[in-house]
Amino acid sequence: MTSKPIYRRVVLKASGEALMGGQGFGIDVSVVDRIAADIAEARSLGVEVGVVIGGGNIFRGVAVASKGGDRVTGDHMGMLATVINSLALRTSLMKIGVEAVVLSAIAMPELCESFSQRQATAYMNEGKVVIFAGGTGNPFFTTDSAAALRAAEIGADALFKGTQVDGVYSADPYKDKNAIRYDRISHEHVIREGLSIMDTAAIALARENNIPIIVFSIHEKGGFGAILRGEGHYTVVADEPAAAE
């Protein structure tokens, strides 16, 4: 255990589906409040936190495309879903006294500010939680890619990927009881084996910018803070010398 957090500035990526809780659609406020509490704990450790949330609990653009619809329009609708989720998280953070701001890749000044790297960095330097909404602002790019991009832009020390399981496995542990869990694995290994923790573009962007990806369970209360203190269950995705593989 360490008295200082392992990372100084991080981006947390959470799926929209995580916000549903036990519901089949929409937002479970109690889940958003728990995630907000985890972020507040990280802030109390002195960690600067940026957040990217997906929109799958409300809308998925790829679902439209799979049924013959227009992918660009579908992705634009998905971006709007991320704005809804981001506003919900900001509300939960503000309720517990954590200053937070939503910066959207799509201009909608009546709802939130537009994203700029300079403004995002300024807010983080002030200690505010910055929630990045609207994905990258472009169709055909996932919110995973948006998280990796924002992490690179703000100079994050790590990208935290909150998932349904407590790390990276060789296969889906819910379907394969023989799946192997990794404590540490390289970006290249993840891409080569096609392990579905994030899309390939996001993994490649993190690798190019030497950003480790910390994969952990978004459902474990206090898990985010535990990892920052050097505890908890997680997998580190980071390139290493061949001898350490």
The domain locations on the chain are 9-244
Our CA angle for 150, 209, 4, nearest 5°, is 75
> Of the candidates 128, 15, 33, 126, which has an alpha carbon nearest to the alpha carbon of residue 78?
15
pTM over 0.75: yes
Q: Which 3 state secondary structure label does DSSP give 16?
A: helix
pLDDT per residue as tens digits for the range 124-177: 999 999 999 999 999 999 999 999 999 999 999 999 999 988 999 999 888 998
Cα 188 from Cα 118, distance rounded (Å):
31
Q: What is the pLDDT of residue 160?
A: 98
pLDDT per residue as tens digits for the range 32-46: 999 999 999 999 999
Cα 217 from Cα 234, distance rounded (Å):
8
> Of the candidates 54, 232, 37, 61, which has an alpha carbon nearest to the alpha carbon of residue 129?
37
What is the pLDDT confidence band of residue 240, given thresholds at 50, 70 and 90?
Answer: low
> Of the candidates 15, 147, 37, which has an alpha carbon nearest to the alpha carbon of residue 81?
15
Say what percent of the chain tops pLDDT 70. Answer: 95
pLDDT of residue 242 exceeding 60, the answer is no
Q: 9-244: which CATH number, 3.40.1160.10, 3.40.50.300, 3.30.420.40, 3.30.360.10?
A: 3.40.1160.10
Q: How many CB atoms lie within 10 A of CB 127?
A: 12
Q: What is the mean predicted confidence (pLDDT) over 183-212?
A: 93
